[in-house]
Amino acid sequence: MTADVLVTALRWEHRLSSADVTARVTLADGRVIDTDRTRGVLNRLVALPDTHLRLATPADRDYARQEFLALFLSWLQTLPGPILNRPTPQGLSGPWLHDAEWACLATNAGLPTNPFHQATADGNGGPSELERRPIKTVVVVADKAIGSGAPACILEGSRQLARAVGVALLEISFYETWSSPWTFAAASPLPDMRLGGKELLASLVTALGGSN
């Protein structure tokens, strides 16, 4: 399901009460996504399109955009079974954190990390160090770290980082520095799935509850 298809669904029926939380989404082509019939979700939603709101006034469009985001956050949270990744207020498919937070968390997870610096004097509010060139990647899927050639300590640190952030799916990029051939560069809850090959695919199937 693409974001376009979901956002233009024919009918939304999301109910909450003290007893139960349910959602039933009827798409324009008649297909139905029902909390009762979903048993796993690979969630790659990042942003919601708003082209269907283009005729609204700017104020109404902005209001509706936020309402849709609020609805999707709640709806994704409602879906049962494994969700890779669960939605968070910081991102529909997992938290998009500030570089400084990633640097802190990576350090705490035991990953080699270069010092991070941010200042108003830098002008753009971003890190001031020389351009980072991530050249190696580890992808964590449901506590399994996959990364060709990565030493055990890097795989373990990557798992720790995913646990600390509370995500099942995380891409961690590394670059080579004079101090470590695997220095933390960045992390994303939206991995490039091509990087993990068949091992990643098999892990995804397992994590989503399928037989492998």
Instruction: Give the binding range for another protein (CB under 8 A) out of 29-37, 52-60, 180-188, 201-209.
Output: 52-60
Candidates 71, 193, 202, 205: give the one binding another protein (CB under 8 A).
71
Instruction: Give the binding range for another protein (CB under 8 A) out of 97-105, 140-148, 190-198, 204-212.
Output: 97-105
- Mention every residue, 6+ apart, whose C-beta is less than 8 A from residue 208: 40, 41, 42, 81, 82, 84
Q: Pairing relation of β-strands 83-84 and 136-141?
A: unpaired
Closer residue to another protein in complex, CB, 174/184: 184
Instruction: Give the binding range for another protein (CB under 8 A) out of 5-13, 139-147, 173-181, 197-205.
Output: 5-13
Contact status, residue 159 vs residue 172, Cβ threshold 8 Å: no
How far apart, in whole angstroms, are the C-alpha atoms of residue 88 and residue 93? Answer: 7
Q: Position of tokens 């995380």? A: 170
28 binds another protein (CB under 8 A): no
Instruction: Give the binding range for another protein (CB under 8 A) out of 37-45, 65-73, 143-151, 187-195.
Output: 65-73
Helix axes 99-108, 152-165, angle to 10 degrees: 120
- Mention every residue, 6+ apart, whose C-beta is less than 8 A from residue 65: 48, 50, 53
Question: Least CB distance from residue 21 to another protein, whole Å?
Answer: 6
Give 146's DSSP letter: E
- The DSSP secondary structure of 36-54, one letter per residue, reads TT---EE--------GGGT
Closer residue to another protein in complex, CB, 95/157: 95
Question: Least CB distance from residue 134 to another protein, whole Å?
Answer: 18
Candidates 38, 107, 180, 206: give the one binding another protein (CB under 8 A).
107
180 binds another protein (CB under 8 A): no
Interacting residue ranges for another protein, rule: CB under 8 A:
9, 11-18, 21, 52-53, 56, 63-64, 66-71, 73-74, 77-78, 87-90, 95, 97-101, 103-104, 107, 115-125
